[in-house]
Amino acid sequence: MPRVVVKGPKGQVEHALDLDRPSALLLGREPDSRAAAQWGLGGAEQSLEAVEVPGPSVSANHVVVWSQAGTVCVRDLTSRNGTWLLLPRGETVRVGPFDIVLQLAQASGGAATGDEPAAPNWSSQRDFAPAMADSIQKWLRPRGVEARATVVAQRDDGASEPSRLPMATGESLDIVPLGTTDANWSRLLEQLWRWAELQNSIYRTEEETRREGMILSSRAIRAAHREVVEAAKGDAPTLLLMGPSGAGKDMLAEVFHRHSGRAGPFVAVNCSMFSKDLLRSELFGAEAGSFTGATRRITGAAERAEGGTLFLDEIGEIPSDVQPMLLRFLDRREYERLGHYGRVQHADVRVVAATNRDLRDAARAGSFRVDLWFRLAVHQIEVPSLRTRWDDVTAYLESVRTEDGRHSIREALSPDALGLLQAHPWEGNFRELTSFVQRLPRATEPESIDATTCRRTLERGSLRPASSTPSPPEASRTDWTALVSRAVQAFVEDHRREPANWDDQKEWNEKYLKPLVFFHLSGASAHPAPADSDAMSSLAAKMATRVQADRGTAGKQLARYFERFRT
Protein backbone atom coordinates (compact mmCIF):
# COMPACT_ATOMS: atom_id res chain seq x y z
CA MET A 1 0.00 0.00 0.00
CA PRO A 2 1.68 3.27 -1.06
CA ARG A 3 1.93 5.98 1.55
CA VAL A 4 2.83 9.69 1.41
CA VAL A 5 4.62 11.54 4.19
CA VAL A 6 4.01 15.29 4.02
CA LYS A 7 6.50 17.75 5.48
CA GLY A 8 5.98 21.48 5.97
CA PRO A 9 8.32 24.32 4.86
CA LYS A 10 10.69 23.79 7.80
CA GLY A 11 10.98 20.03 7.23
CA GLN A 12 8.65 19.05 10.04
CA VAL A 13 6.35 16.06 9.41
CA GLU A 14 2.76 17.27 9.09
CA HIS A 15 1.00 14.09 7.87
CA ALA A 16 1.66 10.42 7.08
CA LEU A 17 -1.21 9.28 4.83
CA ASP A 18 -2.11 5.95 3.20
CA LEU A 19 -3.21 6.22 -0.42
CA ASP A 20 -5.60 3.22 -0.45
CA ARG A 21 -8.60 5.49 -0.81
CA PRO A 22 -10.86 6.40 -3.71
CA SER A 23 -10.38 10.14 -3.25
CA ALA A 24 -7.31 12.19 -4.11
CA LEU A 25 -5.54 14.24 -1.43
CA LEU A 26 -5.54 18.01 -1.96
CA LEU A 27 -2.72 19.50 0.13
CA GLY A 28 -2.43 23.22 0.88
CA ARG A 29 -2.57 26.01 3.41
CA GLU A 30 -6.31 26.55 2.86
CA PRO A 31 -7.31 23.74 0.49
CA ASP A 32 -10.56 24.22 -1.45
CA SER A 33 -11.66 21.17 -3.46
CA ARG A 34 -14.12 23.25 -5.51
CA ALA A 35 -11.41 25.64 -6.71
CA ALA A 36 -8.93 22.84 -7.48
CA ALA A 37 -11.20 21.22 -10.09
CA GLN A 38 -10.12 23.85 -12.64
CA TRP A 39 -6.67 22.25 -13.08
CA GLY A 40 -7.87 18.96 -14.63
CA LEU A 41 -6.27 16.18 -12.64
CA GLY A 42 -6.28 13.29 -15.10
CA GLY A 43 -7.14 10.17 -13.13
CA ALA A 44 -8.01 12.22 -10.05
CA GLU A 45 -11.38 13.46 -11.25
CA GLN A 46 -12.76 11.52 -8.31
CA SER A 47 -13.57 13.40 -5.14
CA LEU A 48 -10.86 15.45 -3.42
CA GLU A 49 -10.04 15.12 0.26
CA ALA A 50 -8.63 18.35 1.68
CA VAL A 51 -5.53 18.10 3.90
CA GLU A 52 -4.37 21.33 5.57
CA VAL A 53 -0.61 21.98 5.75
CA PRO A 54 0.07 25.17 7.74
CA GLY A 55 2.71 27.73 6.80
CA PRO A 56 2.59 31.09 5.01
CA SER A 57 4.87 29.84 2.21
CA VAL A 58 2.50 26.93 1.41
CA SER A 59 0.04 27.91 -1.32
CA ALA A 60 -3.66 27.75 -0.54
CA ASN A 61 -4.08 24.87 -3.05
CA HIS A 62 -0.58 23.49 -3.35
CA VAL A 63 -0.46 19.91 -4.66
CA VAL A 64 -2.70 16.88 -5.33
CA VAL A 65 -1.61 13.29 -4.61
CA TRP A 66 -3.49 10.15 -5.57
CA SER A 67 -2.94 6.45 -6.31
CA GLN A 68 -3.68 5.02 -9.74
CA ALA A 69 -3.08 1.39 -10.70
CA GLY A 70 -0.56 1.03 -7.89
CA THR A 71 1.36 4.15 -8.90
CA VAL A 72 1.56 7.32 -6.86
CA CYS A 73 0.61 10.38 -8.92
CA VAL A 74 1.61 13.91 -7.91
CA ARG A 75 0.44 17.16 -9.51
CA ASP A 76 1.79 20.54 -8.31
CA LEU A 77 -1.01 23.09 -8.77
CA THR A 78 1.36 25.84 -9.97
CA SER A 79 2.22 26.55 -6.33
CA ARG A 80 4.27 29.65 -5.66
CA ASN A 81 7.15 27.92 -3.87
CA GLY A 82 7.18 24.48 -5.48
CA THR A 83 7.02 20.91 -4.19
CA TRP A 84 10.05 18.73 -3.42
CA LEU A 85 9.92 14.95 -3.73
CA LEU A 86 12.30 12.69 -1.77
CA LEU A 87 12.80 9.32 -3.51
CA PRO A 88 14.14 6.19 -1.79
CA ARG A 89 17.83 5.54 -2.41
CA GLY A 90 18.69 3.13 -5.20
CA GLU A 91 15.26 3.25 -6.78
CA THR A 92 14.50 4.14 -10.37
CA VAL A 93 13.28 7.73 -10.74
CA ARG A 94 9.57 7.14 -11.04
CA VAL A 95 6.78 7.68 -8.56
CA GLY A 96 5.44 4.50 -6.93
CA PRO A 97 4.50 2.00 -5.95
CA PHE A 98 6.76 2.70 -2.93
CA ASP A 99 6.24 5.29 -0.21
CA ILE A 100 7.21 8.90 -1.04
CA VAL A 101 8.06 11.97 1.02
CA LEU A 102 6.80 15.38 -0.13
CA GLN A 103 8.11 18.63 1.29
CA LEU A 104 6.10 21.74 0.51
CA ALA A 105 7.74 25.15 0.00
CA GLN A 106 11.33 24.28 0.80
CA ALA A 107 13.25 27.26 2.17
CA SER A 108 15.35 29.17 -0.35
CA GLY A 109 19.12 29.47 0.01
CA GLY A 110 19.21 32.79 -1.84
CA ALA A 111 20.19 36.05 -0.20
CA ALA A 112 17.61 38.60 0.79
CA THR A 113 17.55 42.00 -0.83
CA GLY A 114 20.10 44.48 0.45
CA ASP A 115 17.83 47.47 1.07
CA GLU A 116 15.62 48.08 4.08
CA PRO A 117 12.36 49.82 4.97
CA ALA A 118 12.28 53.60 5.09
CA ALA A 119 12.77 55.22 8.50
CA PRO A 120 9.41 55.32 10.33
CA ASN A 121 7.63 58.66 10.46
CA TRP A 122 6.81 59.05 14.17
CA SER A 123 6.77 61.86 16.72
CA SER A 124 5.90 60.25 20.07
CA GLN A 125 5.72 56.96 21.94
CA ARG A 126 2.09 56.65 20.92
CA ASP A 127 2.73 56.50 17.19
CA PHE A 128 6.15 54.77 17.08
CA ALA A 129 4.88 51.20 16.66
CA PRO A 130 2.14 52.15 14.12
CA ALA A 131 4.74 54.07 12.08
CA MET A 132 7.02 51.01 12.16
CA ALA A 133 4.15 48.86 10.91
CA ASP A 134 3.42 51.29 8.08
CA SER A 135 7.07 51.33 6.93
CA ILE A 136 7.24 47.54 6.95
CA GLN A 137 4.06 47.10 4.92
CA LYS A 138 5.23 49.64 2.32
CA TRP A 139 8.58 47.85 2.07
CA LEU A 140 7.07 44.40 1.61
CA ARG A 141 4.46 45.42 -0.97
CA PRO A 142 6.83 46.04 -3.93
CA ARG A 143 8.32 42.62 -3.25
CA GLY A 144 4.98 40.97 -3.94
CA VAL A 145 4.38 40.26 -0.25
CA GLU A 146 1.06 41.47 1.09
CA ALA A 147 1.26 41.45 4.87
CA ARG A 148 -0.48 43.00 7.84
CA ALA A 149 1.70 44.43 10.60
CA THR A 150 -0.38 44.59 13.77
CA VAL A 151 0.59 46.30 17.03
CA VAL A 152 0.06 43.96 19.99
CA ALA A 153 0.96 43.97 23.66
CA GLN A 154 4.30 42.30 24.29
CA ARG A 155 4.05 38.93 25.99
CA ASP A 156 5.72 38.37 29.36
CA ASP A 157 6.42 34.63 28.95
CA GLY A 158 9.76 35.23 27.24
CA ALA A 159 8.70 33.31 24.11
CA SER A 160 10.11 34.54 20.81
CA GLU A 161 8.43 34.16 17.43
CA PRO A 162 10.15 35.02 14.14
CA SER A 163 7.17 37.04 12.93
CA ARG A 164 6.80 39.02 16.18
CA LEU A 165 9.10 42.05 16.39
CA PRO A 166 9.62 43.63 19.85
CA MET A 167 9.33 47.42 20.01
CA ALA A 168 11.24 49.75 22.33
CA THR A 169 7.87 51.06 23.56
CA GLY A 170 7.04 47.70 25.18
CA GLU A 171 4.73 46.63 22.36
CA SER A 172 5.29 44.14 19.56
CA LEU A 173 4.54 43.96 15.85
CA ASP A 174 3.01 40.79 14.46
CA ILE A 175 3.93 40.44 10.77
CA VAL A 176 1.14 38.30 9.29
CA PRO A 177 1.15 37.41 5.57
CA LEU A 178 -2.19 37.98 3.83
CA GLY A 179 -1.40 35.42 1.13
CA THR A 180 1.25 32.96 0.05
CA THR A 181 4.72 34.24 0.81
CA ASP A 182 7.73 33.44 -1.35
CA ALA A 183 10.60 31.20 -0.35
CA ASN A 184 12.61 34.12 1.05
CA TRP A 185 10.04 34.90 3.75
CA SER A 186 12.27 33.75 6.62
CA ARG A 187 15.17 35.85 5.29
CA LEU A 188 12.93 38.88 4.96
CA LEU A 189 11.95 38.42 8.61
CA GLU A 190 15.62 38.26 9.60
CA GLN A 191 16.18 41.51 7.74
CA LEU A 192 13.20 43.12 9.47
CA TRP A 193 14.55 42.03 12.87
CA ARG A 194 17.87 43.77 12.19
CA TRP A 195 16.10 46.88 10.92
CA ALA A 196 13.73 46.95 13.91
CA GLU A 197 16.66 46.69 16.33
CA LEU A 198 18.26 49.71 14.66
CA GLN A 199 15.02 51.74 14.82
CA ASN A 200 14.53 50.74 18.46
CA SER A 201 18.04 51.96 19.20
CA ILE A 202 17.30 55.28 17.48
CA TYR A 203 14.07 55.58 19.48
CA ARG A 204 15.86 54.99 22.79
CA THR A 205 18.60 57.51 22.06
CA GLU A 206 16.06 60.15 21.01
CA GLU A 207 13.93 59.55 24.10
CA GLU A 208 17.02 59.90 26.29
CA THR A 209 17.80 63.24 24.64
CA ARG A 210 14.20 64.42 25.07
CA ARG A 211 14.42 63.60 28.77
CA GLU A 212 17.47 65.88 28.89
CA GLY A 213 15.22 68.72 27.65
CA MET A 214 16.02 68.95 23.93
CA ILE A 215 13.14 69.26 21.47
CA LEU A 216 13.38 66.50 18.84
CA SER A 217 10.28 66.56 16.67
CA SER A 218 11.21 67.74 13.19
CA ARG A 219 12.76 65.33 10.73
CA ALA A 220 15.66 67.77 10.18
CA ILE A 221 16.85 67.97 13.79
CA ARG A 222 16.32 64.24 14.32
CA ALA A 223 18.55 63.55 11.31
CA ALA A 224 21.25 65.81 12.79
CA HIS A 225 20.83 64.07 16.14
CA ARG A 226 21.34 60.65 14.55
CA GLU A 227 24.49 61.87 12.81
CA VAL A 228 25.88 63.08 16.13
CA VAL A 229 25.13 59.76 17.83
CA GLU A 230 26.74 57.82 14.98
CA ALA A 231 29.82 60.06 15.13
CA ALA A 232 30.06 59.54 18.89
CA LYS A 233 29.84 55.77 18.57
CA GLY A 234 32.35 55.80 15.72
CA ASP A 235 35.99 56.81 15.80
CA ALA A 236 35.70 60.49 14.84
CA PRO A 237 38.15 62.31 17.19
CA THR A 238 36.82 65.75 16.20
CA LEU A 239 33.32 66.92 15.28
CA LEU A 240 32.27 70.32 13.94
CA LEU A 241 28.68 71.53 14.51
CA MET A 242 27.65 74.40 12.26
CA GLY A 243 24.44 76.35 12.60
CA PRO A 244 22.86 79.53 13.95
CA SER A 245 23.08 80.57 17.57
CA GLY A 246 20.30 79.07 19.68
CA ALA A 247 19.63 76.12 17.34
CA GLY A 248 20.78 73.50 19.87
CA LYS A 249 24.48 72.93 19.12
CA ASP A 250 25.43 72.91 22.80
CA MET A 251 22.91 70.19 23.61
CA LEU A 252 24.05 68.13 20.63
CA ALA A 253 27.62 68.40 21.94
CA GLU A 254 26.41 66.84 25.20
CA VAL A 255 24.63 64.12 23.18
CA PHE A 256 27.98 63.35 21.53
CA HIS A 257 29.66 63.03 24.92
CA ARG A 258 26.88 60.88 26.37
CA HIS A 259 27.10 58.37 23.51
CA SER A 260 30.89 58.34 23.18
CA GLY A 261 31.22 55.69 25.87
CA ARG A 262 34.03 57.55 27.63
CA ALA A 263 34.32 57.84 31.38
CA GLY A 264 35.91 61.30 31.49
CA PRO A 265 34.00 64.58 31.97
CA PHE A 266 32.35 66.95 29.52
CA VAL A 267 34.18 70.30 29.62
CA ALA A 268 32.86 73.33 27.70
CA VAL A 269 34.76 76.49 26.75
CA ASN A 270 33.17 79.48 24.99
CA CYS A 271 35.99 80.82 22.82
CA SER A 272 34.33 84.22 22.40
CA MET A 273 34.51 85.06 26.12
CA PHE A 274 38.29 85.30 26.54
CA SER A 275 41.16 87.45 25.36
CA LYS A 276 44.16 85.81 23.68
CA ASP A 277 46.15 85.09 26.87
CA LEU A 278 43.12 84.14 28.92
CA LEU A 279 41.80 81.79 26.25
CA ARG A 280 45.19 80.10 25.92
CA SER A 281 45.38 79.56 29.67
CA GLU A 282 41.74 78.45 29.78
CA LEU A 283 42.40 75.85 27.08
CA PHE A 284 45.89 74.63 27.93
CA GLY A 285 46.59 75.90 31.45
CA ALA A 286 49.17 78.31 32.91
CA GLU A 287 51.82 78.33 35.58
CA ALA A 288 51.61 80.80 38.48
CA GLY A 289 53.11 84.16 37.50
CA SER A 290 53.02 83.44 33.76
CA PHE A 291 50.89 86.56 33.19
CA THR A 292 49.56 89.47 35.21
CA GLY A 293 47.03 88.22 37.72
CA ALA A 294 48.07 84.55 37.50
CA THR A 295 48.61 84.03 41.21
CA ARG A 296 48.22 80.24 41.06
CA ARG A 297 48.59 77.44 38.58
CA ILE A 298 45.62 77.14 36.18
CA THR A 299 44.51 73.70 35.00
CA GLY A 300 43.42 74.00 31.38
CA ALA A 301 40.24 72.60 29.86
CA ALA A 302 42.23 70.06 27.82
CA GLU A 303 43.66 68.60 31.01
CA ARG A 304 40.33 68.76 32.87
CA ALA A 305 38.62 66.87 30.02
CA GLU A 306 41.09 63.95 30.15
CA GLY A 307 39.29 60.78 29.06
CA GLY A 308 36.18 62.72 28.06
CA THR A 309 34.99 65.44 25.67
CA LEU A 310 36.19 69.00 25.18
CA PHE A 311 33.50 71.30 23.72
CA LEU A 312 34.81 74.45 22.02
CA ASP A 313 31.83 76.72 21.46
CA GLU A 314 32.03 79.73 19.10
CA ILE A 315 35.29 78.42 17.68
CA GLY A 316 35.03 80.94 14.86
CA GLU A 317 35.89 83.69 17.39
CA ILE A 318 39.20 82.18 18.49
CA PRO A 319 42.05 84.76 18.30
CA SER A 320 44.51 84.26 15.44
CA ASP A 321 47.44 83.87 17.89
CA VAL A 322 45.78 80.87 19.54
CA GLN A 323 44.80 79.13 16.31
CA PRO A 324 48.25 77.52 15.70
CA MET A 325 48.20 76.09 19.23
CA LEU A 326 44.73 74.67 18.68
CA LEU A 327 45.79 73.18 15.33
CA ARG A 328 48.72 71.42 17.02
CA PHE A 329 46.38 70.13 19.70
CA LEU A 330 43.85 68.80 17.16
CA ASP A 331 46.62 67.17 15.11
CA ARG A 332 48.49 65.41 17.93
CA ARG A 333 46.52 66.10 21.14
CA GLU A 334 49.57 67.80 22.60
CA TYR A 335 50.00 71.25 24.18
CA GLU A 336 52.17 73.36 26.48
CA ARG A 337 51.03 75.27 29.53
CA LEU A 338 51.60 79.02 29.45
CA GLY A 339 54.89 79.67 31.28
CA HIS A 340 55.89 76.01 31.09
CA TYR A 341 57.67 75.98 27.74
CA GLY A 342 59.42 72.89 26.44
CA ARG A 343 57.29 70.55 28.55
CA VAL A 344 54.82 68.94 26.16
CA GLN A 345 51.61 67.61 27.70
CA HIS A 346 49.18 65.15 26.10
CA ALA A 347 45.42 64.83 26.54
CA ASP A 348 43.23 61.89 25.60
CA VAL A 349 40.09 63.81 24.65
CA ARG A 350 37.56 63.95 21.85
CA VAL A 351 36.78 67.45 20.61
CA VAL A 352 33.45 68.93 19.56
CA ALA A 353 33.62 72.43 18.07
CA ALA A 354 30.64 74.66 17.24
CA THR A 355 30.22 77.87 15.29
CA ASN A 356 27.53 80.12 13.85
CA ARG A 357 30.02 81.65 11.40
CA ASP A 358 30.80 80.47 7.89
CA LEU A 359 34.35 79.27 8.52
CA ARG A 360 34.95 78.78 4.80
CA ASP A 361 34.38 82.48 4.19
CA ALA A 362 36.52 83.32 7.23
CA ALA A 363 39.34 81.11 5.92
CA ARG A 364 39.13 82.68 2.47
CA ALA A 365 39.16 86.16 4.06
CA GLY A 366 42.24 85.31 6.13
CA SER A 367 40.67 85.65 9.60
CA PHE A 368 40.68 81.89 10.16
CA ARG A 369 43.57 79.56 9.36
CA VAL A 370 42.98 77.46 6.25
CA ASP A 371 44.76 74.42 7.73
CA LEU A 372 42.67 74.70 10.91
CA TRP A 373 39.51 74.75 8.80
CA PHE A 374 40.59 71.58 6.99
CA ARG A 375 41.33 69.89 10.30
CA LEU A 376 37.91 70.80 11.68
CA ALA A 377 36.03 69.99 8.46
CA VAL A 378 36.82 66.27 8.49
CA HIS A 379 33.51 65.50 10.20
CA GLN A 380 30.93 68.28 10.14
CA ILE A 381 27.18 68.36 10.80
CA GLU A 382 24.76 71.12 9.88
CA VAL A 383 22.32 72.03 12.66
CA PRO A 384 19.22 73.50 10.95
CA SER A 385 17.69 76.78 12.05
CA LEU A 386 14.32 76.87 13.76
CA ARG A 387 12.86 78.59 10.71
CA THR A 388 12.91 75.24 8.89
CA ARG A 389 11.71 73.26 11.93
CA TRP A 390 8.04 74.14 12.39
CA ASP A 391 7.36 70.78 14.06
CA ASP A 392 9.90 71.71 16.76
CA VAL A 393 8.16 75.05 17.30
CA THR A 394 4.79 73.34 17.78
CA ALA A 395 6.36 70.67 20.02
CA TYR A 396 7.78 73.39 22.27
CA LEU A 397 4.44 75.21 22.35
CA GLU A 398 2.80 71.94 23.35
CA SER A 399 5.34 71.37 26.13
CA VAL A 400 4.56 74.67 27.90
CA ARG A 401 1.34 74.78 29.92
CA THR A 402 -1.03 77.67 30.44
CA GLU A 403 -1.18 79.37 33.83
CA ASP A 404 -3.85 77.03 35.21
CA GLY A 405 -2.13 73.98 33.72
CA ARG A 406 -5.21 72.77 31.87
CA HIS A 407 -3.98 73.40 28.32
CA SER A 408 -0.79 73.83 26.36
CA ILE A 409 0.27 77.18 24.91
CA ARG A 410 -0.33 75.69 21.47
CA GLU A 411 -3.95 75.00 22.37
CA ALA A 412 -4.30 78.58 23.64
CA LEU A 413 -3.30 79.99 20.24
CA SER A 414 -5.91 80.57 17.55
CA PRO A 415 -5.44 79.09 14.04
CA ASP A 416 -4.56 82.56 12.67
CA ALA A 417 -2.00 83.04 15.45
CA LEU A 418 -0.37 79.72 14.61
CA GLY A 419 -0.26 80.71 10.95
CA LEU A 420 1.51 83.92 11.91
CA LEU A 421 4.09 82.01 13.97
CA GLN A 422 4.70 79.53 11.16
CA ALA A 423 5.56 82.39 8.78
CA HIS A 424 7.86 84.05 11.34
CA PRO A 425 11.62 83.67 10.56
CA TRP A 426 12.70 82.95 14.20
CA GLU A 427 16.09 84.56 13.70
CA GLY A 428 16.88 84.06 17.37
CA ASN A 429 15.91 80.39 17.18
CA PHE A 430 14.98 78.82 20.54
CA ARG A 431 16.09 81.83 22.55
CA GLU A 432 13.63 83.97 20.63
CA LEU A 433 10.90 81.32 20.90
CA THR A 434 11.23 80.91 24.67
CA SER A 435 11.32 84.68 25.13
CA PHE A 436 8.17 85.02 23.02
CA VAL A 437 6.31 82.43 25.08
CA GLN A 438 7.34 84.13 28.33
CA ARG A 439 5.88 87.44 27.08
CA LEU A 440 2.52 85.98 26.04
CA PRO A 441 -0.56 86.80 28.12
CA ARG A 442 -1.33 84.16 30.72
CA ALA A 443 -4.36 82.87 28.83
CA THR A 444 -6.19 79.79 30.04
CA GLU A 445 -8.83 79.03 27.39
CA PRO A 446 -8.25 77.26 24.05
CA GLU A 447 -7.75 79.58 21.04
CA SER A 448 -7.96 82.66 23.27
CA ILE A 449 -4.70 84.22 21.96
CA ASP A 450 -5.36 85.68 18.52
CA ALA A 451 -3.02 86.79 15.73
CA THR A 452 -3.13 90.46 16.76
CA THR A 453 -1.92 89.62 20.28
CA CYS A 454 0.78 87.36 18.85
CA ARG A 455 1.95 90.07 16.48
CA ARG A 456 2.28 92.62 19.27
CA THR A 457 4.20 90.10 21.39
CA LEU A 458 6.57 89.30 18.54
CA GLU A 459 7.21 92.96 17.80
CA ARG A 460 8.31 93.64 21.38
CA GLY A 461 11.14 91.11 21.21
CA SER A 462 12.01 90.31 17.60
CA LEU A 463 14.76 91.85 15.50
CA ARG A 464 12.24 92.91 12.87
CA PRO A 465 8.55 93.68 13.40
CA ALA A 466 5.81 91.41 12.17
CA SER A 467 3.43 92.61 9.51
CA SER A 468 1.14 95.43 10.63
CA THR A 469 -1.87 93.72 9.04
CA PRO A 470 -4.23 93.07 11.97
CA SER A 471 -4.91 89.48 11.01
CA PRO A 472 -3.58 87.61 7.95
CA PRO A 473 -5.13 86.48 5.28
CA GLU A 474 -2.54 83.78 5.62
CA ALA A 475 -1.94 83.64 1.87
CA SER A 476 -0.59 87.21 1.94
CA ARG A 477 1.73 86.31 4.85
CA THR A 478 3.07 83.11 3.39
CA ASP A 479 6.84 82.90 3.52
CA TRP A 480 7.26 81.22 0.16
CA THR A 481 11.03 81.11 0.44
CA ALA A 482 10.80 79.11 3.66
CA LEU A 483 8.22 76.70 2.22
CA VAL A 484 10.25 76.07 -0.94
CA SER A 485 13.41 75.61 1.15
CA ARG A 486 11.66 73.12 3.39
CA ALA A 487 10.33 71.16 0.40
CA VAL A 488 13.79 70.98 -1.18
CA GLN A 489 15.33 69.94 2.14
CA ALA A 490 12.80 67.11 2.48
CA PHE A 491 13.51 65.89 -1.06
CA VAL A 492 17.25 65.87 -0.34
CA GLU A 493 16.71 63.95 2.92
CA ASP A 494 14.72 61.26 1.09
CA HIS A 495 16.83 61.03 -2.09
CA ARG A 496 20.27 62.21 -0.84
CA ARG A 497 20.42 64.71 -3.71
CA GLU A 498 18.58 67.75 -5.01
CA PRO A 499 16.02 67.48 -7.86
CA ALA A 500 18.12 66.89 -10.98
CA ASN A 501 15.68 66.45 -13.88
CA TRP A 502 12.10 67.13 -14.91
CA ASP A 503 10.74 63.95 -13.36
CA ASP A 504 12.41 64.92 -10.06
CA GLN A 505 10.80 68.35 -10.32
CA LYS A 506 7.36 66.82 -10.80
CA GLU A 507 7.83 64.53 -7.83
CA TRP A 508 9.14 67.40 -5.69
CA ASN A 509 6.16 69.58 -6.62
CA GLU A 510 3.52 66.91 -6.03
CA LYS A 511 4.88 65.12 -2.97
CA TYR A 512 6.75 67.88 -1.14
CA LEU A 513 5.76 71.43 -2.11
CA LYS A 514 2.00 71.02 -2.60
CA PRO A 515 1.37 69.32 0.78
CA LEU A 516 3.36 72.03 2.58
CA VAL A 517 1.53 74.86 0.80
CA PHE A 518 -1.89 73.33 1.41
CA PHE A 519 -1.17 72.64 5.07
CA HIS A 520 0.03 76.21 5.59
CA LEU A 521 -2.76 77.98 3.70
CA SER A 522 -5.52 75.88 5.25
CA GLY A 523 -4.43 76.50 8.85
CA ALA A 524 -4.43 72.76 9.54
CA SER A 525 -1.62 73.26 12.06
CA ALA A 526 -4.24 74.37 14.59
CA HIS A 527 -5.68 70.85 14.61
CA PRO A 528 -4.19 67.64 16.01
CA ALA A 529 -2.97 64.96 13.61
CA PRO A 530 -5.96 62.76 12.67
CA ALA A 531 -6.04 59.51 14.63
CA ASP A 532 -8.04 57.56 12.02
CA SER A 533 -9.65 57.83 8.59
CA ASP A 534 -12.83 59.40 9.95
CA ALA A 535 -10.87 62.18 11.67
CA MET A 536 -8.86 62.72 8.46
CA SER A 537 -12.07 63.03 6.40
CA SER A 538 -13.52 65.52 8.88
CA LEU A 539 -10.37 67.66 8.86
CA ALA A 540 -10.17 67.52 5.06
CA ALA A 541 -13.75 68.76 4.79
CA LYS A 542 -13.02 71.76 7.04
CA MET A 543 -9.79 72.64 5.27
CA ALA A 544 -11.33 72.26 1.80
CA THR A 545 -13.96 74.85 2.68
CA ARG A 546 -11.34 77.20 4.05
CA VAL A 547 -9.12 77.27 0.94
CA GLN A 548 -11.94 76.68 -1.57
CA ALA A 549 -10.59 73.31 -2.74
CA ASP A 550 -12.48 70.08 -3.39
CA ARG A 551 -12.52 67.55 -0.57
CA GLY A 552 -10.54 64.93 -2.53
CA THR A 553 -7.66 67.34 -3.09
CA ALA A 554 -7.73 68.38 0.57
CA GLY A 555 -7.66 64.78 1.75
CA LYS A 556 -4.79 63.85 -0.58
CA GLN A 557 -2.60 66.82 0.37
CA LEU A 558 -3.26 66.44 4.09
CA ALA A 559 -2.45 62.72 3.93
CA ARG A 560 0.82 63.49 2.15
CA TYR A 561 1.68 66.16 4.72
CA PHE A 562 1.02 63.98 7.76
CA GLU A 563 2.90 61.06 6.19
CA ARG A 564 6.02 63.02 5.30
CA PHE A 565 6.26 66.22 7.35
CA ARG A 566 4.36 65.72 10.62
CA THR A 567 7.15 63.96 12.52
Cβ(551)–Cβ(505) under 8 Å?
no
Cβ(177)–Cβ(147) under 8 Å?
yes
Q: How far is CA 16 from the centre of its chain?
A: 49
Task: Determine the pLDDT at residue 475.
Answer: 37
Cβ(476)–Cβ(455) under 8 Å?
no
Give the integer Cα–Cα distance in Å for 268 and 207: 24
Tens digits of residue pLDDT in 303-350:
999 999 999 999 999 999 999 999 999 999 999 988 877 789 999 999
Closest listed residue to residue 471, CA positions, set 452, 448, 454, 449: 452
Task: Determine the pLDDT at residue 83.
Answer: 84
pLDDT tier at 286, thresholds 50, 70, 90? confident
Give the integer Cα–Cα distance in Å for 539 and 556: 12
Phi then psi dihedrals of residue 453, to 5 deg: -65, -40
Q: Taking the domain 238-382, which CATH number applies? A: 3.40.50.300
Q: How far is CA 98 from the centre of its chain?
A: 57
Give the integer Cα–Cα distance in Å for 134 and 515: 20
**What is the number of alpha carbons within 13 Å of residue 297 lying toward its C-beta?**
5
Task: Determine the pLDDT at residue 526.
Answer: 67
E strand or H helix that includes residue 109 = none
pLDDT tier at 242, thresholds 50, 70, 90? very high
| pLDDT of 28 above 70 | yes
For the chain, percent of residues with pLDDT exceeding 70: 87
Q: Which residues contact 176 (CB under 8 A, 6 or more apart)?
A: 147, 148, 149, 150, 163
Tens digits of residue pLDDT in 159-199:
567 889 999 999 999 998 887 776 678 888 889 999 999 99
Averaged pLDDT for residues 498-515: 89
pTM: 0.65
pLDDT tier at 116, thresholds 50, 70, 90? confident
| pLDDT of 111 above 50 | no
Give the pairing type, strands 380-382 and 238-242: parallel
Phi then psi dihedrals of residue 159, to 5 deg: -70, 145
Tens digits of residue pLDDT in 117-161:
988 878 778 889 999 998 998 888 887 788 888 998 876 555 567
Cβ(17)–Cβ(40) under 8 Å?
no
Task: Determine the pLDDT at residue 266.
Answer: 97
Name the amino acid, one letter, at 257. Answer: H
Degrees (nearest 5) of the Cα angle 398, 401, 403? 155
Give the integer Cα–Cα distance in Å for 525 and 513: 16
Mean pLDDT of the chain: 83
Cβ(220)–Cβ(387) under 8 Å?
no
Closest listed residue to residue 229, CA positions, set 116, 80, 377, 381: 381
Cβ(283)–Cβ(324) under 8 Å?
no
**Which CATH fold topology does 3-104 show?**
Tumour Suppressor Smad4 (2.60.200)
Averaged pLDDT for residues 407-412: 90
Task: Determine the pLDDT at residue 550.
Answer: 77
| pLDDT of 36 above 70 | no
Phi then psi dihedrals of residue 6, to 5 deg: -105, 125
| pLDDT of 12 above 70 | yes
pLDDT tier at 476, thresholds 50, 70, 90? very low
DSSP state of 557: H
pLDDT tier at 470, thresholds 50, 70, 90? very low
Give the integer Cα–Cα distance in Å for 270 and 293: 21
Task: Determine the pLDDT at residue 463.
Answer: 75
Q: Which residues contact 77 (CB under 8 A, 6 or more apart)?
A: 28, 36, 39, 59, 61, 62, 63, 64
Domain parsing of the chain, residue ranges: 3-104, 125-211, 238-382, 386-465, 481-564
Tens digits of residue pLDDT in 529-551:
777 777 788 788 878 777 777 77
Give the integer Cα–Cα distance in Å for 224 and 238: 16
Phi then psi dihedrals of residue 241, to 5 deg: -105, 125
Task: Determine the pLDDT at residue 61.
Answer: 87
Q: Taking the domain 386-465, which CATH number applies? A: 1.10.8
Give the integer Cα–Cα distance in Å for 113 and 140: 11
Q: Is the dihedral of CA 42, 45, 49, 51 positive or negative?
A: positive
**Helix (H/G/I), strand (E/B), else coil: 229:** helix
- Among 46-50, 93-97, 200-204, the range scoring the smallest mean pLDDT is 93-97
DSSP assignment string, 251-294: HHHHHHHHHTT--S-EEEEEGGGS-HHHHHHHHH-B-TTSSTT-
